[in-house]
Structure 1
Amino acid sequence: MAYWYNIATKEVETDENRSRNDDVMGPYDTEDDARNALASAARNTEQWDAEDRAWEGEKDLED
């Protein structure tokens, strides 16, 4: 079963009761993963931003 996090209602949903709009994040393997969707997204964004800054810094060194 897949789990989804609804950012509008702040509730975890399953395939059986999932909203069919843009307010859901997922799918996630576990209910806990879905419940922590926003925190995971924030961590991923921070990591990707850091990687982008590092790449841009390396690119500047080549110029």
Structure 2
Amino acid sequence: MVGESQSNDVQYWYNTRTHEVEKGPQSSWQFRMGPYATEAEARAALERARERSADWDAEDRSWEEG
């Protein structure tokens, strides 16, 4: 609902140790990626991180090559 507080919205986290999606922060921050708005986004967290890292690596190479 528009204008409704988002503090009650459920957030999802990806646990890098168990490789499971958590509804709300359940594990130590050391093993969590998130928060994400949907379970699907949390499940894709590692792939998205890999893609971003590859993009940043390509940008670094481009910058270093001048």
Aligned with residue 32 of structure 1, among 40, 43, 66? 40
The 1-side partners of 2:17 and 2:28 are apart by 12
- From 3, 9, 17, the equivalent of 2:12 is 3
Indicate the structure (1 or 2) with the bigger Cα radius of gyration: 1
Structure 2: gaps of 5 or more residues? 1-9
What root-mean-square deviation, in Å, do the aligned CA atoms of Structure 1 and Structure 2 show? Answer: 1.2
Q: Percent identity?
A: 49
> Residues of 1 paired with 2:29 and 2:56: CA distance?
26
Look up the equivalent residue of 1:46 and give its one-letter code: A
TM-score (norm 1): 0.81
Q: Secondary structure of 1:22's partner?
A: helix
Q: 1:19 aligns with which of 17, 27, 31?
A: 27
SS at match of 2:65: helix
Q: Which runs of 5+ in 1 are unaligned?
A: 59-63
Moved over 2 A (4+): none
